[in-house]
């Protein structure tokens, strides 16, 4: 695959992956504006770096790990911690992207409420279809840890969705 920094290749790359990266960033940031900012920053890294990807799977893995790390860094920053400490009545309402199917909003909200380490593996396993060994390699975790995190996430999701009443 050619160097991603060429203009036409970058445009195709951006079109192919924008929605995926945005949704992933939204799952962390819980804000459309923050998700857009993070997603744009991921693509700026691609544009300003000299990355060569072997195939689309390699692209998506790199984007997933980069977007996750960028969002976690932003969430951990001093300014973000201060915003999160606002009173509930002063905080802006969190809304999911508009194109989420209505039947899955409760599931999506339950996934969004998971801790980041569980959300990562759920996202990659269920939304992207990666096997646990590939998730482990991409995230730098042992495969057994990824499988345990998936088990823990399923338990949390089951408990959360069992209590859900539309």
User: What is the residue-wise DSSP string for 58-98?
Assistant: HHHHHHHHHHHHHHHHHHHSHHHHHHHTS-TTTSPPP---T
Record the tokens describing residue 165, joined without a space: 């009443």
> Measured at the alpha carbon of residue 32, what is the angle toward residues 69 and 87, in degrees to the nearest 5?
90
Please give the pLDDT value at position 144.
93
Among 86, 154, 91, residue whose Cα is nearest residue 122: 154
Record the tokens describing residue 5, joined without a space: 């920094």
Among 108, 115, 79, 77, residue whose Cα is nearest residue 94: 108
Q: Where exactly does CATH 1.10.1740 map onto the chain?
A: 1-96
Consecutive 10-residue runs of the chain (166 residues): their mean pLDDT?
A: 64 89 86 90 87 85 89 72 44 46 66 84 83 86 92 88 67
Please give the pLDDT value at position 11.
87
Please give the pLDDT value at position 41.
93
Tell me how far apart the alpha carbons of residues 101 and 87 are, in angstroms, rounded to a whole number.
30
- 1-96 belongs to which CATH class? mainly alpha
Q: Where exactly does CATH 1.10.10.10 map onto the chain?
A: 100-166
Record the tokens describing residue 12, joined without a space: 């195709």
CATH 3.30.450.20 fits 100-166, yes or no: no
């Amino acid at each position: 695959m050619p160097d991603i920094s060429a203009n036409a290749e970058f445009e195709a790359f951006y079109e192919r992956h924008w929605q995926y990266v945005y949704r992933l960033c939204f799952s962390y940031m819980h804000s459309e504006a923050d998700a857009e900012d993070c997603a744009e920053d991921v693509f700026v890294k691609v544009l300003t770096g000299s990355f060569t990807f072997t195939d689309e799977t390699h692209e998506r893995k790199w984007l997933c790990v980069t977007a996750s790390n960028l969002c976690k860094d932003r969430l951990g920053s001093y300014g973000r911690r201060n915003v999160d400490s606002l009173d509930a009545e002063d905080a802006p309402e969190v809304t999911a992207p508009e194109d989420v199917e209505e039947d899955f909003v409760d599931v999506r909200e339950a996934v969004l409420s998971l801790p980041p380490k569980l959300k990562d593996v759920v996202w990659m396993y269920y939304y992207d279809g990666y096997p646990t060994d590939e998730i482990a390699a991409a995230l730098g975790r042992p495969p057994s840890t990824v499988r345990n995190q998936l088990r823990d996430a399923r338990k949390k999701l089951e408990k959360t969705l069992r209590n859900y009443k539309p």
